[in-house]
Amino acid sequence: GDSVTQMEGPVTLSEEAFLTINCTYTATGYPSLFWYVQYPGEGLQLLLKATKADDKGSNKGFEATYRKETTSFHLEKGSVQVSDSAVYFCALSDYGGSQGNLIFGKGTKLSVKP
């Protein structure tokens, strides 16, 4: 079945460092891909999305490109801030699938130190 694999955390960075969180997926069709972020004590918020190959999603300085050839959707940010500390989830759409409409990776916890 469809699945999402993302790098294990936690990831600890200093402020203004470059961030990459790797995400790869397995899917039989052509899913949409998402990055969600969860701040402490809150639900999940959509960070960015891409709906077809070579699309680049971007928001709040974060970017991810839908790479069909490598089945990847890595999250990047050029200069992280303390306020970016959160858990990041990669996900793909699976309409009507038995795992729900979105299949999530395990999450990567990011801690940014001042």
Partner 1 sequence: KAGVTQTPRYLIKTRGQQVTLSCSPISGHRSVSWYQQTPGQGLQFLFEYFSETQRNKGNFPGRFSGRQFSNSRSEMNVSTLELGDSALYLCASSSLPGTGNTGELFFGEGSRLTVL
Given the rule CB under 8 A, which residues bind partner 1? 31-32, 34, 36, 42-46, 49, 51, 89, 93-102, 104-107
Q: Which CB, 79 or 99, lies closer to partner 1?
A: 99
**Residue 37 and residue 45 in contact, taking contact as beta carbons nearer than 8 Å:** yes
β-bridge partners, 89: 36
- Strands 23-26 and 33-38: what pairing? unpaired
CB 34, min distance to partner 1, A: 7
Q: Which CB, 17 or 27, lies closer to partner 1?
A: 27
CB 52, min distance to partner 1, A: 10
- Provide φ and ψ at 39, rounded to 5°: -85, 155
Q: How far apart are CA 31 and CA 26, in angstroms?
A: 10
CB 100, min distance to partner 1, A: 3
Handedness of CA 27, 69, 84, 114 (dihedral sign): positive
Q: Which CB, 16 or 60, lies closer to partner 1?
A: 60
Amino acid of residue 95: Y
Q: Return the residue matching tokens 């790869």.
A: 24
Q: Which CB, 45 or 79, lies closer to partner 1?
A: 45
